[in-house]
Amino acid sequence: MAPGLPTAMDRPHFIGIGGAGMSGIAKILAQRGAKVAGSDAKESATAEALRALGVTVHIGHAAGHLADDAGCVVVSSAIREDNPELVRAAELGVPVVHRSDALASLMGGLRPIAVAGTHGKTTTTSMLAVSLTELGLNPSYAIGGDLDAPGSNALHGDGEIFVAEADESDRSFHKYAPEVAIVLNVELDHHANYASMDEIYESFETFAGRIVPGGTLVISADHEGARELTRRLAGKVRTVTYGEAEDADVRVLSVVPQGLKSEVTVLLDGSELTFTVSVPGRHYAHNAVAALAAGAALGVPAAELAPALAAYTGVKRRLQLKGEAAGVQVVDSYAHHPTEMTADLEAMRAAAGDARILVLFQPHLFSRTQELGKEMAQALALADASVVLDIYPAREDPIPGVTSDLIIEAARAAGADVTAVHDKSEAPAVIAGMARVGDLVLTMGAGDVTDLGPLILDRLSEQ
């Protein structure tokens, strides 16, 4: 049975409660019996899902939204210091708790698996949550994306395992003390917080150092950044490597595409094991193997966990089929880093056969575009044609001279067919006009480009 609530957490107030990470913690606290309240900038399906659990959700940010008897205020790194609810908390002397500390407190007394890496965290965390649930182990979990419906990003289970997505972007994953940690890959990203690969390595070393005595690090044997981290951690923590490399402890022998699924064969403890992964792409197959290795490290029999992994059928925005109209399928992708973009485009190419792939891409963050714009352009060159929108700023202020033109010009220089659309409302008509029967359209990016999939389907239906 899960432990009780820390005192300050019995009446928490979340600023930005609709966010993927924040809403998950709020949901678990509500399910554990806390009186949860919070605010968000706009109405959403997530806000409604939280209200259904008895959570008070205010729309907009105002000092009056914070109850005088709130036990604590939970914030993420995205909340600015001048937020009126945060200012009010200071006036009332209400303690402010970072999201990562709140999540860490929920793991107390349980057996945590923390999933880290520059890409693939949400998918791998979800695979573990679904497969462990399928086996009747009733895990708690907190994920950075919805499995199938709003609010399905987190659950309080009565089992002893807690699966959590561990975010390296602001170093908040240093707060956790997992029994098993997964590191899927180590690359330079989050340029506002990390100046170099050395800083990234140091941050991941700190995370690995938080693994409890006798615990296990599960880490990729195929990514150079992960191999370098493994070298740096030699002798400091029990390590299980996975991947296609010949020296991997859990070795991937084959990944055979079967439409939008894959058949994966691994060599584990001297025995071959073949199982199905119900989402397309080699990178998702590797995520499943990481989940398999992590479960085995916790003592879950691999022969039982492997078939249970087939129950995972995707996360919202991770190559999620939005629908089909006029013979054109529209798929949504959260990919926003060049490595993710390349992986998703290669997965779609393997699934698409001879079909054309058209991409509607929205760059995410000025800092990421400044640092990785050329690499994004190279990824887009894998599509048959692309439409590129203006940069989605999220939490950032503009950087002079940094626009989506950096990507567009580099993509054209690489031979890509790219169209610039600066008015987002025009994009559905543009991409629908380009599409013909049999094509696959991919809406791609971490911003609000996801909203355009249904509008593209509407346009296709009208043609």
Please say if the pLDDT value at position 271 is more than 60: yes
Q: What are 384's strand-pairing partners?
A: none
- Res. 7 pLDDT band, cuts 50 70 90: low
Secondary element (H or E) of residue 323:
strand 318-325
Q: Is the pLDDT of residue 2 over 50?
A: no
pLDDT in tens, 155-204: 999 999 999 999 887 788 999 999 999 999 998 765 566 768 899 999 99
Rounded Cα gap, residues 50 and 443, in angstroms: 27
Q: How far is 233 from 441, CA to CA, in rounded Å?
A: 42
304, amino acid identity: E
pLDDT at 340: 86
424 is in an annotated binding site: no
8 A C-beta contact, residue 118 and residue 183: no
State the pLDDT at residue 29: 95
What value does the mean pLDDT of the chain take? 91
Q: Nearest 5°: CA angle at 83, between 82 and 86?
A: 100
Structure tokens, 295:
């479960």
Share of the chain above pLDDT 70, in %: 95
Q: Above 50 in pLDDT, residue 143?
A: yes
Spatial CB neighbours of 405, under 8 Å, sequence gap ≥ 6 = 420
CATH code of the domain occupying 318-462: 3.90.190.20
The confidence band for 64, taking pLDDT boundaries of 50, 70 and 90, is very high
Dist. CA 307–CA 313, nearest whole Å: 13
Longest dimension (CA), the chain: 63
pLDDT in tens, 308-347: 999 887 766 667 888 999 999 999 998 898 988 998 898 8
Most confident range (mean pLDDT) of 102-111, 238-247, 443-452 is 238-247
**Which residues neighbour 167 within 8 Å (Cβ) at sequence distance 6 or greater?**
21, 100, 116, 121, 144, 173
Residue 122 marked ligand-binding: yes
Which residue did the predictor score with more confidence, 8 or 400? 400
Pairing relation of β-strands 418-420 and 385-388?
A: parallel
Q: What confidence score (pLDDT) does residue 320 get?
A: 81
Two structure tokens written together for 355 = 């079909």
What are 402-447's pLDDT values in tens digits?
A: 999 999 999 999 999 999 999 999 999 999 999 999 999 999 998 9
Under a CB-based contact definition with an 8 Å cutoff, are residues 104 and 293 in contact? no
Catalytic residues: 121-122, 165
Q: How many CB atoms lie within 10 A of CB 301?
A: 10
- Residue 298, both tokens: 């916790």
Q: Is the pLDDT of residue 147 over 70?
A: no
Is the model's pLDDT at 221 over the cut of 60?
yes
Token pair for residue 442?
Answer: 């991919």
Q: Which helix (H) or strand (E) holds 296?
A: helix 282-297
123 is in an annotated binding site: yes
What confidence score (pLDDT) does residue 1 get?
A: 32
Q: Are strands 154-155 and 140-142 parallel, antiparallel or unpaired?
A: antiparallel
Write the CATH number of the domain with boundaries 108-311.
Answer: 3.40.1190.10
Report whether 120 belongs to an annotated binding site: yes
Rounded Cα–Cα distance for residues 19 and 152 (Å): 13
Distance CA 366, CA 202 (A): 25
- In 184-281 the beta strands, taken as DSSP E runs, fall at 216-220, 238-243, 250-258, 261-268, 271-277
- Residue reference for tokens 């690995």: 208
Give me the residues paired with residue 435 across strands.
none
In sign, the C-alpha dihedral spanning 332, 338, 344, 350 is positive
Alpha helices per DSSP H over 334-365: 338-352
Residue of 145, 256, 143, 164 whose CA lies nearest to 210: 164
Q: Which CATH superfamily is domain 7-96 in?
A: NAD(P)-binding Rossmann-like Domain (3.40.50.720)
- For the chain, what are the domain ranges? 7-96, 108-311, 318-462
318-462: same fold as 7-96? Answer: no
Chain segment 69-125, per-residue pLDDT in tens? 999 999 988 899 999 999 999 999 999 999 999 999 999 999 999 999 988 898 899
State residue 440's pLDDT score.
93
